[in-house]
Amino acid sequence: MPITLDTPLSLYSIVAAYIIAFIPHNQKYRLINGTIGFDNVNPRDTDKETLIKRGMSAELAAKAERMTGAHRNGNEVFPLWAAAVLVGNQAGIEQSKLNILSLVFVASRLVFNYIYINQTTKRVALLRCSFVSYNHISKQTRRVVNQYVYQILMAVVKIMKHFRSLGDRIEARREILTQYCEA
């Protein structure tokens, strides 16, 4: 089967987003192991102050702390992204559009992590924030995003109605069986 934009490639972005969320985590432990050595007795004791006490430079300890922040941010956004992709595919949104949005999301997560980890000034931090800020994208892009969010929400409502009607049917059948068994 040839791979085209109409192939459901957006589903692979779920795996990619999960892996990308853990890249900063792995970078942090490589940084610690390469400088002061990883403490396997206290593996979670890697906050900035502890790393400085153990002999890491303040600059590298701050970078390790930002790596933790990037990792946590990836974990926070992952469930929302996975749900959006799954619902978008279930709702029947055009595969080519889902694939393009997924590619943009994965690429933006890579850029976001890079900026987050390497920021050292407030100006660069502002760049990171504006990079992902909804208010800084063009009106046309915002319109497209709003359209997809609306379609996804309508699909969720449709799925919820389906499950509600399914639940009503199960309840009705349970009542019939209860009446039959009591008779």
- Spans of all domains in the chain: 9-136, 137-183
Q: How far is CA 58 from CA 62, 113, 116, in A?
A: 6, 20, 17
pLDDT tens-digit series, residues 107-119: 888 988 988 898 8
pLDDT tens by residue, 136-171:
455 666 666 666 666 666 666 676 666 666 666 667
CATH, domain range 9-136: 1.20.120
How many of the other CB atoms lie within 10 Å of CB of 165? 10
Distance between CA atoms of residues 97 and 135, nearest Å: 22
At residue 129 the predicted structure's pLDDT band, cuts being 50, 70 and 90, is low
Q: Is the pTM of this model over 0.85?
A: no
98 burial (CB, 10 Å; 0-12 / 13-18 / 19+) is buried
The one-letter amino acid at 140: Q
Whether residue 50 contacts residue 26, with contact meaning beta carbons closer than 8 Å, is answered with no
Contact 9, 3 (CB under 8 A): yes
| Beta strand residue intervals within the chain, DSSP E | none
115/73 Cα distance (integer angstroms): 13
Q: How much is the pLDDT for 154? A: 67
Instruction: Put residue 92 in one of left, alpha, beta given phi > 0 → left and psi -120 to 50 → alpha.
Output: left
* % of the chain surpassing 90 pLDDT: 26
Residues with Cβ within 8 Å of 88's Cβ and at least 6 positions away in sequence, in order, are 10, 98, 148, 151, 152, 155
3-state secondary structure of 3: coil
